[in-house]
Amino acid sequence: MHTHIDDLSLVLGEIALFRGLPSSAVSDIARSTQVLSLPKGSKVYSAGDRPRALYQVMSGHLKVAVCSSEGGEKVIEILSPRQIFGVAELFGEASYVSSVETVSPVVVVAVGRDGIFRAMEHEPCVGRRMLAAVAERQSSIERDIAADCFQSGSAKVVDYLRRLAGSVLGQSKSLTLELEIPKHVLAARLGFTPETLSRIFRELSDSGLIHVNGKQVTLTEKFAGQQTGKPAAERPVSLAARQPSRQGGAWFNRSGPGTLAGGHAWN
């Protein structure tokens, strides 16, 4: 997508890494920047590619995955709007280990390596912000490893919902979340089959912790009460928290029949 440099500067000014920088610095970064509009199923980069840019998600969702030589895939992260990726890889000589693929139509901003390095030379705060982004990524990886090692399947789902709800949880008796990623992608991210994820949501619904209506999941007062005092992870989310809506809809896209917790059909 061709974008005028002035428009790119405005976009970059809204990204946390570059917010508040002098206009001359932002304009220089903009010369190494592209806006990419990609359909579902597109690769941003593949394992084995050399890092050339960092990326900011403007809209849509992507998955970060690693694959085995036999073709097996492990989804290690879901990327959402306002989230950056590809930061740490810029500082080494190694190729990407993972691949990033869109799971919905997306718009991403790609900021070239040369522009980033020039900004770091002239604006020390950019380097500090980059280090903070790398540190947050490391903490996220450690949390995920701990969950895989020590949490049950239902505990993983509860923790996932709690983190997605963030600080909003507990501010009202219930909280409705609208889920935006395909069922099989979320299941893969949590290390489940889609059928196992359906069963866990049904069990949580039967326990009175959640209610499901199409693509909306309501966290009940009971859910919030059980999570009181547990710190929520401060990271971008893959779903939108909002007040309950009467409009239903398909949460996940998946061929074949299935059942969502609460008796609603998977679409």
Tokens of 21: 């920088």
The predicted structure's pLDDT at residue 191: 86
Are 25 and 113 part of one and the same domain? yes
Asked if residue 257 is part of any domain, the answer here is no
Please state whether beta strands 106-112 and 33-38 pair in parallel, antiparallel, or not at all (unpaired): antiparallel
pLDDT of 103:
93
Task: Give the relative orientation of helices 153-165 and 183-190 as an angle to the nearest 10 degrees.
Answer: 110
Residue 252 lies in a domain: no
What is the full per-residue pLDDT of the chain (267 aa) written as tens digits? 556 778 889 999 889 999 999 999 999 999 999 999 999 999 999 999 999 999 999 999 999 999 888 888 889 889 999 999 999 999 988 999 999 999 999 999 999 999 999 999 999 999 999 999 999 988 988 888 888 888 888 998 898 888 878 878 877 788 888 877 887 888 888 888 889 998 998 999 999 999 888 778 899 988 888 875 554 443 333 444 443 433 333 333 333 333 333 333 333
3-state secondary structure of 76: strand
3-state secondary structure of 152: coil
Report CA 221 to chain centroid distance, whole Å.
26
Within a domain: residue 133? yes
Q: Which pTM value belongs to this model?
A: 0.71
Q: Are residues 137 and 167 in the same domain?
A: no
Residue 249: per-residue pLDDT: 35
Do residues 73 and 194 share a domain?
no
CATH of the domain at 126: 2.60.120.10
- Residue 241's pLDDT is 40
Residue 3, pLDDT score: 66
Give the 3-state secondary structure of 57-68: EEECCEEEEEEC
- Among residues 265, 83, 263, the alpha carbon closest in space to that of 164 is found at 83
- Domain span at residue 186 reads 152-242
Separation of CA 23 from chain center:
29
**Residues near 194 by beta carbon (within 8 Å), at least 6 away in sequence:** 183, 184, 187, 252, 254, 258, 266
The pLDDT score that the predictor gives to residue 262 is 34
Which secondary structure element, helix H or strand E, spans residue 101, and what is its range?
A: strand 99-102
d(CA 27, CA 53): 17
Q: Is residue 115 in some structural domain?
A: yes
> Residue 251 in contact with residue 215, Cβ under 8 Å?
yes
Asked whether residue 133 falls in the same domain as residue 12, the answer is: yes
Structure tokens at 160: 């996932």
